[in-house]
Chains A and B, each alone.
Chain A
Amino acid sequence: MKAKFLARAMLAAAALAISAVQSNAADIAVISGSAEDAFFNPIKRGVDDAATLIESHGGKVTYLTVPNYDNFGPDLARLIATAISQNVQGIAIPVWVPEAQMPALQEAAEKGIRIMLYNTRTSGPDDQIAINYFGTDEAVAGKAGGDYFAGSGAKKILCVIHVPGAVNLETRCDGVEEGATAGGAEIVRLPLPASIQSNMAATSEAIKAELLKDQTLDVVLTLNAQTSDAAAMAIEQAGAAGKVRLGTFDLSTSVLDRIKAGAQAMAIDQQPYLQSFLATTLLANNIDYGMELATNPILTGPAIIDASNIEAALNGVTSGVR
């Protein structure tokens, strides 16, 4: 059902793209996350591809990023102000810090700038100022992971939270729990203390300890790709290869290599390329021709990559879109 939904959105976007003709010139700003975060590489690629299309019709796309996450809210508000001052016609942006971003976005909307949301939103009434939303729902994505493992016989899932307290990560685990319990499995959460974060060996040994201590665990689900690398080593060292399956949110080359080699069961992809590509394209066509999509929101994930579709996914990675 998800796939059909997505296919429809894709078709719509493609149709919109083809119908664009040179006479109009949408001027768009796309605001995004730090380039330091690998996650935003396919996002940027999506914007770049959309920009090629839009620019060939005389439009203009400006890509703005926050330098890091240290001063996240104010940085985002500042970028919105920058976009307003450049007299753009549309802004595509994720809503990560509503308190900081919403007043600035309201101001933009009052000046007649069209807003398109992607990747993250608040799901509150404030979102109504936006034309549409291309993104994911952490709870839905988590549930898909829970469904996947519970549906294939898992009984006890370890959900590794690499930054305890981060709302989106906790929501993912909540979703996993929902899907797992529905399928008759239980989940255990493992929040990693700060002294372990970004230390591969310490993360790996922590997961190994949990596996040794609780022999009934049969799935490790990590919430980002780096933790997944550590978890793969942990499963091997705990002597649990073949018994404990590994899944993760987000992709990396090493995750895909493991799926291909059979050392990892799956990865949950929210297909960020589609989020930014579709959001940017639709925004341009809305500005130029008033086009809209009937469905709102449009979820670009979760898409599950496992042994059945790994080859295609690898092609996507090679091309920089996954």
Chain B
Amino acid sequence: MGDRSSADGLLGHTGSRAGRATAPNASKLQVGILMRRPETGAFLGMIFVAVFFTVFGGWLFVSPQGIASWLNVAAILGIIAVPIGFLMIAGELDISIGAMVPAASMCIGVLSGYYGLPVAVGIFVTLAFGAVVGLINGLMVVRTAVPSLIVTMGTLFAVAGLMLFLSIVLTSTTSVSMTAPAWAKAIFGSTIGYGFQVMIFWWLGLTALFYFFLHLSPWGNWLFALGGDRVSARNAGIPVDRLTVGLFILSSMSAAFVGMCQTILYNSAQVSTGQSFIFNTIISVVIGGVLLTGGFGSVLGIFFGTITFAIVNQGIFYTDFDRNLSSLIIGVMLLIAVLMNNTFRQMALSYTGKRRSGGR
């Protein structure tokens, strides 16, 4: 019932979502249809901040090095943001990624840096560690009635504590250095051209994969159903528990992947708190138009939302604004982006019109 009221508030009663080129006669691309896609708001928010920082940041902001600046940050964030977006569509949250990123970073650093094991072993163990933490998160969420925010808050501290303990016991320090072999650097942590990290390609590839999963494969349908109404989804025969656990494993592993790549790129790792990852991914997902109440969202939206966040976050350093105002400007720009997106989404979803007579 909560679903219904929120949906009605959002949609109006005769809402029509004319989305992706649809019913027989709508195959020709229309600007109007494009405007009503759910990602349009996120896209316009991105354009807005890009124009803003081009105006105030000058040519340097749009130079290849400037573009690399925010694309690199977007890539790292985006790889985690989409799985977090999936969880939010499913009505869950995973904040343990805040500990997972530095923990994975330490994990490979200790194994392949301090102990000098082959980097492939370090990569494998690190990703497996991520999978195990995700499995624990997922199982605890589906087996207990504890909200995922609380469960993952528990694992957030547990993982951070475990990593600190192990790192002190094993290496008697909290920072390690590691030099990865050339092949690993080339694949996971190097820069090309004007400072574009290879992470960008991972990000684009994974985003395409995630797009397939959510919007093309049947599993995407399961995910939307799960977020819309868990009980109905279960009754419809969807393995909701397995799906939920799978999503937690995905988010945890993506965080582990990012942490691992950072160690390979920066040749060092330290026990630290990655709190900023928690907020930054959630902000990106929300800018991208995913509903905090679940059941609605799109991969392209999250993609644009992540870029928007990265532009705002890094663009500030290309401007001449007083650096002490950075946080203020970031906050204001993000609010504007979210508001633009919300307005557009409402326009898109409450659209009623000529399409009523479509498909005949």
Assess the A252–B164 pair: CB atoms within 8 A. no
Assess the A206–B330 pair: CB atoms within 8 A. no
Identify which of A35, A197, A213 contacts B276 (C-beta below 8 A): A197
With A and B bound together, what is the CA distance between A187 and B317 in angstroms? 17
Identify which of B60, B168, B191, B275 contacts A212 (C-beta below 8 A): B60
Interface residues in A182-199 by Cβ distance below 8 A to B read 189-199
Quick one: given A226-B175, A254-B177, are A237 and B191 in contact (CB under 8 Å)? yes
* Complex interface bits, A222-233 against B, C-beta within 8 A gives 1, otherwise 0: 000110011011
B350 in contact (CB, < 8 A): no
Q: For residue B270, which residue of chain A has the nearest CB? A: A226
Q: Is the interface of B mostly helix, strand, loop or mixed?
A: helix
B352 in contact (CB, < 8 A): no
Identify which of A197, A206, A226, A238 contacts B314 (C-beta below 8 A): A206
How many residues on chain A are close to B (CB under 8 Å)? 41
Q: Which of chain A's residues have a CB closer than 8 A to the CB of B191?
A: 237
Assess the B313–A195 pair: CB atoms within 8 A. yes
With A and B bound together, what is the CA distance between A320 and B168 in angstroms? 12
Interface residues in B239-284 by Cβ distance below 8 A to A read 262, 265-268, 270-277, 279-280
Quick one: given A35-B168, A193-B330, are A200 and B266 in contact (CB under 8 Å)? yes
Q: Which of chain A's residues have a CB closer than 8 A to the CB of B318?
A: 209, 212-213
A205 in contact (CB, < 8 A): yes
A21 in contact (CB, < 8 A): no
Q: Which of chain A's residues have a CB closer than 8 A to the CB of B66?
A: 209, 212
B16 in contact (CB, < 8 A): no
With A and B bound together, what is the CA distance between A157 and B112 in angstroms? 35
Q: For residue A164, which residue of chain B has the nearest CB? A: B324
Assess the B317–A252 pair: CB atoms within 8 A. no
Assess the B69–A41 pair: CB atoms within 8 A. no
With A and B bound together, what is the CA distance between A51 and B40 in angstroms? 66
Q: For residue B98, which residue of chain A has the nearest CB? A: A198
With A and B bound together, what is the CA distance between A296 and B19 in angstroms? 75
With A and B bound together, what is the CA distance between A190 and B164 in angstroms? 29
Assess the B330–A201 pair: CB atoms within 8 A. no
Assess the A257–B177 pair: CB atoms within 8 A. yes
Q: Which of chain B's residues have a CB closer than 8 A to the CB of A82?
A: none
A36 in contact (CB, < 8 A): yes
Identify the interface centre among A37, A41, A212, A254: most chain B CB within 10 Å of its CB: A254
Q: Which of chain B's residues have a CB closer than 8 A to the CB of A199?
A: 73, 76, 274, 276-277, 280
Q: Which of chain A's residues have a CB closer than 8 A to the CB of B69?
A: 205, 208-209
Q: Which A residues are closer than 8 A to B by beta carbons? A: 35-38, 41, 164, 189-202, 204-206, 208-210, 212-213, 225-226, 229-230, 232-233, 237-238, 252-254, 257, 320
What 5 A-B pairs are tightest by C-beta distance, nearest first?
Answer: A209-B317, A254-B268, A38-B174, A237-B195, A254-B177
If A41-B172, A212-B318, A252-B268 are given as contacts, then 18 extra A-B residue pairs at C-beta distance below 8 Å, sorted by A number, are A38-B173, A201-B262, A205-B70, A205-B317, A206-B317, A208-B195, A209-B317, A212-B65, A225-B270, A226-B175, A229-B266, A229-B267, A238-B65, A252-B270, A253-B173, A254-B266, A254-B267, A257-B267
